[in-house]
Amino acid sequence: MIVFSKYNMVINKNVVFIIFNTLFNSLVTLEKVYYEQIDFNNIGNTRGDVFDFLLENKILVDDLEEKELIEKLDLDAISNKVISITFLPTFAYNFNCFYCYERHNLDAINRQEYDVILDFLRNRDIDFLRIAWFGGEPLLKLNDIIYFMSEVRKMKNIKSLASDITTNGYLLTEDTFRTLVENNVTTYQITIDGNEQNHNKSRMLINGNPTYRKIFDNLKKMHETNLNFELVVRCNLLRNTEIESFLQEYKESFLDDTRISLCLYPVSDWDEEKEHISDCTKSDLIKKYTKKVKNMGIFDSNVKELTESTMFCEYSRYGSFVVLPKSKVCKCTINFKNTIDLGEYLEKFDVYESPKINLRCQKRDCIFYPKCLGYYCLNTDDKESYCHKIIEESKTLLGEFIDESK
């Protein structure tokens, strides 16, 4: 039976309605006069051209097809053949970012610990393996990254492999970048905090020296290659962050490169000891900065993430874990309090990562369920308010993006 999908997010912009289907990632705008012609009690009575348009764009759907697709996504979400490992090769860091929540030291994962995980992977049937490199600054341990990735690439039991790295970009020379890509590290997140002067105040070297120009030059060298990669340039923002000259340089350098995208994001307050770091919400950010970005013809990858992919926290997923120095494992890169011994965790992996251990939200009729699949931030105490916040931020993002796109 054809129905108005339960996963339609409807945003009323007075003269038009924005409808985004979170299951099929379909996004349409409908003038109010046409939206009012939808017969929600009997979809079949909806005016013909409106009916056909909504059906074609997966706003109207077959209810059985919708149910079957959700059930498939549910099964995929709890598959023990999908594994995601985030490594913190070292807690060492070459920057002195004032808002960083980590406590940096020289602790590092040793080669023996990498070998233990390699043995674990060799003995499993794996449909998809994601390897993420985090830190500290992971490129301080480049040799370990290359060693591990080169060994994983030899494994015939892994059907699909992807790897990403979050780095400050300072050590990402062209030679280093090419070596990483050759070893399947093809997705990058690098942060620039707005204009050069602003960035050099918040993301300086340990000795206080500036970093903006060297990082941006490294990004340009990535752009100049013909390699297959994805780069998200993350721009961390406080309420009064200046971004105009940065946006201009970004536009001149990367606008024609589909491999590179920009993500505007507020500085989050993950450190209980550092108060008042985050002074604007994500919704505040969207309203303040979307117009500036759109006026320059730059696409905000926040919209791409919302409309093209799932949005659950990777670390809450079954089969996802974080490896720390000193043979420790945890579930999240911002909470190192509850750790498990690496050997014990791998030995009992299917117990620790069973659906009985990892509880998920079961509200499958929620409009956002296809995006989160019931997963939520492990550090939240209030799932209801967390979900409400994510949905409202998504509506704000789409509403502002459509307005500025007109």
CATH number at residue 120: 3.20.20.70
Q: What is the mean pLDDT of residues 267-286?
A: 54
Is residue 18 domain-resident? yes
Burial of residue 282 (number of CB atoms within 10 Å: 0-12, 13-18, 19+): buried
Is residue 291 domain-resident? no
Both 51 and 112 in a single domain? no
Both 247 and 390 in a single domain? no
Both 11 and 143 in a single domain? no
Q: How many CA atoms lie within 13 A of 58 on its CB side?
A: 12
pLDDT in tens, 73-107: 888 777 788 999 999 999 999 998 877 777 788 99
Is residue 130 domain-resident? yes
Both 177 and 49 in a single domain? no
In DSSP terms, 265 is beta-bridged to 236
Lowest mean pLDDT among 245-254, 327-336, 347-356: 347-356
Q: What is the mean pLDDT of residues 274-280?
A: 46
Domain count within the chain: 2
Given a cut of 60, is residue 386 above it in pLDDT? yes
> How far is Cα 186 from Cα 163, in angstroms, rounded to an integer?
6
Q: What is the mean pLDDT of residues 354-376?
A: 75
136: preceding bond cis by omega (within 30 degrees): yes
Both 247 and 226 in a single domain? yes
Given a cut of 90, is residue 4 above it in pLDDT? yes
Q: What is the mean pLDDT of residues 342-358?
A: 80
CA–CA–CA angle 387, 391, 392 (5° rounding): 115
Given a cut of 90, is residue 371 above it in pLDDT? no
Is residue 341 domain-resident? no
Q: What is the mean pLDDT of the chain?
A: 86
Domain assignment of residue 379, given as a range: 2-73+360-405
CB 157 within 8 A of CB 122: yes
H-state helical runs in 189-281: 196-202, 212-224, 244-254
Both 114 and 185 in a single domain? yes
Both 168 and 217 in a single domain? yes
Is residue 271 domain-resident? yes
Both 187 and 105 in a single domain? yes
Both 136 and 262 in a single domain? yes
Joined together, the tokens standing for residue 139 give 């490129």
In DSSP terms, 260 is beta-bridged to 231
Is residue 288 domain-resident? no
Task: Using pLDDT thresholds of 50, 70 and 90, give the confidence band for residue 299.
Answer: low
Q: What is the mean pLDDT of residues 57-62?
A: 94
Q: What is the mean pLDDT of residues 51-73?
A: 93
pLDDT in tens, 11-20: 998 889 999 9
pTM: 0.84
pLDDT in tens, 391-401: 887 887 777 76
Closest CA to 23 of 71, 77, 69: 69
- Looking at residue 280, its pLDDT comes to 54
Both 62 and 94 in a single domain? no
Both 112 and 257 in a single domain? yes
Strands 230-237 and 260-266: parallel
- Looking at residue 372, its pLDDT comes to 82
Dihedral of CA 170/117/340/109: which sign?
A: negative
Is residue 399 domain-resident? yes
Contacts of 24 (CB under 8 A, 6+ apart): 5, 7, 58, 61
Lowest mean pLDDT among 94-108, 142-156, 301-315: 301-315
Given a cut of 80, is residue 361 above it in pLDDT? no
- Looking at residue 304, its pLDDT comes to 62
Both 68 and 92 in a single domain? no
Task: Using pLDDT thresholds of 50, 70 and 90, give the confidence band for residue 284.
Answer: low
Is residue 380 domain-resident? yes
- Looking at residue 295, its pLDDT comes to 76
